[in-house]
Amino acid sequence: MLRRKVHATATTSLSRYSSTTTTTHGRHFQYLQCSKLPTLYFQRSLPRLPIPLLDNTCQRFLAAVQPLLSPSELGHTQQVLTQFREGIGMELHAKLKDIDDRNKHTSYISQPWFDMYLSDRAPLPLNYNPLLVMKSDIRPEYQEQIVRTTNLIISSLRFWRSLQNNLLEPEVYHMNPKKSDTASYRRWMKVAPKALATYASYAFKAFPLDMSQYHRLFGTSRIPRLGKDELVHAPESKHILVMRRGHMYAVNVLDSSGFIESPSVIMGRLKAVLQLDGQREAAEVPLGVLTSAQRDEWAKARAHLVKSSHNADILHREVDASLFCVCLDTPEDGVFQEENQVPLLKHLLGGKATNRWFDKSISLLISADGTASVHFEHSWGDGVAVLRYFNEVYKDTLELPFVSTDSPHTPADGDTGNVRAINFDIDNQTKSSVEEAFAKNSAVMNSLEMNLLKYPRINKKTCKQYGLSPDSIIQLSFQLAYRQAFNKYVGTYESCSTSAFRHGRTETMRPCSTATQAFCEAVLKPESSKPSANELRSMIDKCSKMHGQLTKEAAMGQGFDRHLFALRHVAQLEGVQQPDLYETEAYKRINHNIISTSTLGSDALLAGSFGPVVKDGLGIGYSIQNDFAGAIVTTYKDLADGKVFINSLESAFNKIYNIIEQSSTK
């Protein structure tokens, strides 16, 4: 893999990479990586996602719902589950196995999961599209908005071209990178039979991951249709979509041969966008707002919009087919403030939607101060592919950015062939649709509350010091926080990737367990009857062990959520009446995910956020950094109290930290 060394200034890089056509067409500029192993080297040999045994799924489901049910509810669930396992469940399981056997090229969950995403009619912002905010570049000459945008665009294109040409490093999870992420490992893999390459990699404790989603990272759009959306893909596109104050521009970033344009040319074209945009008022009818609407409403509005052949042509050619979207925000949209992050995070997560196109697979949001974020549509893929892109691009822009504030640019004023203002024919009906979508999105965003916590005493260092699993400690803290704040246990969702399998997606890990319940009840006992610190520490270790086991099962395709989901999907396909199991309070309660959590381990991540998945729920984006544990909690006003939860979470952290510290000193 070719990596570039850090240079003092971008002026040096500009002279190296854009002085001649030969240089900009060279591998060092055109590709982010030049892997010795082809990108999809392991894809053919990846194992298939297993369908769990029906008995195991039923046992795991029963264990997961136990903390959420009363004794009588649990007894009823056991009866229904037994009937399901011995009756209709067996029939559906057999049909699912048969379908899976006839589709060996994919996984049993892939198509149903796509259908689930694309059929949901809920608006994309808050309900589906997550937000990832990059750490800033501490060097002012690279943080300026257009400079950072230029560098991010170039690095994104370098990533894309590496992927297209099979030069991007295969996605491999290395248990011990010092031993397996080496030239020697790659030499052995290169001589391994391709049909067995994945299994050969296992010998190095290196686990190849599915990369089938990667091709949709760029050039992909979700198109609204009545009842069910569709994904369209334009891999040969040469331009990106740039948005500014609700106006839309198509900007060519690849030349006619598919090579990345020089840094000075790309920066010049972005500056031309600013100049064009400065010559007119903000968009009176910002069409991007329509992508925030309920999907059927947007489908109807789009169907009307494309009755005009002009609109149909430019919407398909310039918007849908763009490689990705770049949203240049203004100072009025907000800048990052460490002491008050909420206003900008809310704006980036959903905001007014006037300067967004939520249907693009990837959108780069660049605030006026250079704060950079990735906003992505979720139906096409999961966090593994997006996080790889996010990390690689961030690292690339830090190691050797191609432009700085001192870099010259190639003027593109009047170059309407490469910088094209996208202007639609808008009638009163479309204007009314935009106004309605704007009002509805504003109402939802106004009802969204966001609360943050940074807790310094629990971090990567303390977890390592005390031999703790960071994720299990955080998840245990969520359970304790909710129990002491609201006096109950609720459905809790933690996503776990199954990308170790061909066309794997995700499985649900259920952090609310009998072990976490026992610990929470013990901690909240009166002091006179509370177990000792050592006893409580033992309970923490038991929680951690169970959490690790559940995580391992989920990652190996041995959870229960996706299996039950697929069995219900088969029943729908076969026209079979929905089994009683899916009508039980147990099934409804565990799938009403009041606590929905997600974490992305990344040194590039400044913040991550998403909306609650149910109206009375909490959307918790969390991470453990080197110096703190952090959580961003979203809730809907008057339906859930995020502030109470955050205060309780700090108390829970304190209790757990004190137990750990006290038990280690005795």
**What CATH number has the domain bearing residue 87?**
3.30.559.10
Same domain, 261 and 289: yes
Inside any domain, residue 205: no
pLDDT at 25: 79
Considering the domain architecture, whether residues 289 and 426 belong to the same structural domain is answered as: yes
pLDDT tens-digit map of 119-155? 999 999 999 999 999 999 999 999 999 999 999 999 9
Q: Which of 386, 415, 445 is the last residue of a domain?
A: 445
DSSP 611-642: --SSTT-EEEEEEE-SS-EEEEEEEETTT--H
The stretch 101-125 carries a mean pLDDT of: 96
pLDDT at residue 598, rounded to an integer? 94
One domain for residues 416 and 523: no
Tokens of 183: 């030239």
The three-state DSSP-derived secondary structure of 446-490 is HHEEEEEEEECCCCHHHHHHCCCCHHHHHHHHHHHHHHHHHCCCC
- Long-range Cβ contacts of 182-191 (<8 Å, 24+ apart): 183/36, 186/36, 186/37, 189/37, 189/41, 190/36, 190/37
33 to each of 2, 39, 180, 192, 374, how far by Cα in Å?
5, 10, 18, 22, 21
Q: What are phi and psi of 481, to 5 degrees?
A: -60, -45
CA 313, CA 310: separation in Å to the nearest integer? 5
Question: First vs last Cα of the chain: how many Å apart?
Answer: 50
Same domain, 498 and 645: yes
Would you state the pLDDT for residue 395? 97
Q: Which of 344-353, 464-473, 598-607 has the lowest mean pLDDT?
A: 598-607
54 vs 85, 87, 371, CA distance in Å? 7, 11, 48
Contact 277, 245 (CB under 8 A): yes
Q: What angle do CA 392, 393, 395 make, to 5 degrees?
A: 65
| C-alpha to C-alpha distance for 534 and 532, rounded to whole angstroms | 5
Whether pLDDT at 277 is above 80: yes
Contact (Cβ atoms closer than 8 angstroms) between residue 561 and residue 508: yes
Residues 84 and 136 in one domain: no
Mean pLDDT of 389-405: 96
d(CA 565, CA 569): 6
CB 477 within 8 A of CB 649: yes
What span, in angstroms and rounded, lies between the C-alpha atoms of 225 and 110? 21
Structure tokens at 214: 């990667």
Give a yes or no: residue 207 inside a domain.
Answer: no
Is there a domain that residue 202 lies in? no
Q: What percentage of residues in the chain have a pLDDT greater than 70? A: 97
Last residue of a domain, one of 415, 445, 475: 445
Contact 146, 271 (CB under 8 A): yes
**Residues 439 and 464 grouped into a single domain:** no
Structural domain including 127 reads 10-33+123-167+214-445
Select the more confidently predicted residue: 299 or 384. 299
pTM above 0.85, yes or no: yes
Residue 409, in any domain of the structure: yes
In a shared domain, residues 58 and 158? no
- 45-98, pLDDT tens digit by residue? 999 999 999 999 999 999 999 999 999 999 999 999 999 999 999 999 999 999
- Of 417, 445, 473, the residue at which a domain comes to its end is 445
**Are 268 and 400 in the same domain?**
yes
Q: Tens digits of per-residue pLDDT, 638-663? A: 999 999 999 999 999 999 999 999 98
What's residue 22's pLDDT? 45
For residues 411 and 407, what is the distance between their CA atoms, to the nearest angstrom?
12
Q: Are 591 and 116 in contact (CB under 8 A)?
A: no
Residue 22 neighbours by CB under 8 Å, 6+ apart: none
Q: Could you read off the pLDDT of 618-636 as tens digits, one per residue?
A: 999 999 988 999 999 999 9
Q: Give CA 106 to chain center in angstroms.
A: 22
Question: Do 372 and 308 fall within a single domain?
Answer: yes
> In the 3-class helix/strand/coil scheme, how is 342-406 assigned residue by residue?
HHHHHHHHCCCCCCCCCCECEEEEECCCCCEEEEECCCCCCHHHHHHHHHHHHHHHHHCCCCCCC
Q: What are phi and psi of 494, to 5 degrees?
A: -130, 125
Domains contained in the chain, number: 2
**pLDDT for residue 666:** 55
In a domain, 46, yes or no: no
Asked whether residue 7 carries a pLDDT value surpassing 90, the answer given is no
Structure tokens at 12: 């040096």
Tracing tokens 């690849």 back to the chain, one arrives at: 254
Comparing 5-9, 102-106, 424-428, 536-540, which segment has the lowest mean pLDDT? Answer: 5-9
pLDDT in tens, 471-504: 999 999 999 999 999 999 999 999 999 999 999 9
* 640-642-643-646 Cα dihedral, nearest 10 degrees: 140
Task: Tell me: do 77 and 138 sit in the same domain.
Answer: no
- Does residue 185 lie within any of the structural domains? no
CATH of the domain at 127: 3.30.559.70
Task: Tell me, yes or no, whether 538 and 638 share the same domain.
Answer: yes
Phi, psi of 532 (to 5 degrees): -70, 165
Q: Which residues are known to be catalytic?
A: 378
- The alpha-carbon radius of gyration of the chain (Å, integer) is 26
Residue 115 inside a domain? The answer is: no
173 falls within a domain: no
- 3 state SS for 535-575: HHHHHHHHHHHHHHHHHHHHHCCCCCHHHHHHHHHHHHHHC
Interatomic CA distance for residues 377 and 392, integer angstroms: 19
Residues 424, 498, single domain; the answer is no
* Residue 430: its H or E element: helix 428-447
Are the C-beta atoms of 305 and 430 separated by less than 8 Å? yes
CA–CA gap between residue 598 and residue 608 (Å, rounded): 9
Average pLDDT over residues 169-175: 96
Residue 300 tokens, joined: 């109807």
Contact 260, 239 (CB under 8 A): no
In the predicted model, what is the mean pLDDT of residues 453-463?
94
CA angle (379, 240, 309) in 5-degree steps? 85
Q: When comparing pLDDT for 326 and 7, which is higher?
A: 326
Compute the CA torsion angle 210, 611, 304, 251 (nearest 10 deg): -60
In this structure, the dihedral spanned by the alpha carbons of residues 340, 344, 347 and 348, taken in order and rounded to 10 degrees, is -130
Average pLDDT, the chain: 94
Type of residue numbered 87: G
* Rounded CA separation 618/450 (Å): 10
Q: What is the pLDDT of residues 10-27, one digit of tens each?
A: 334 443 444 444 478 788
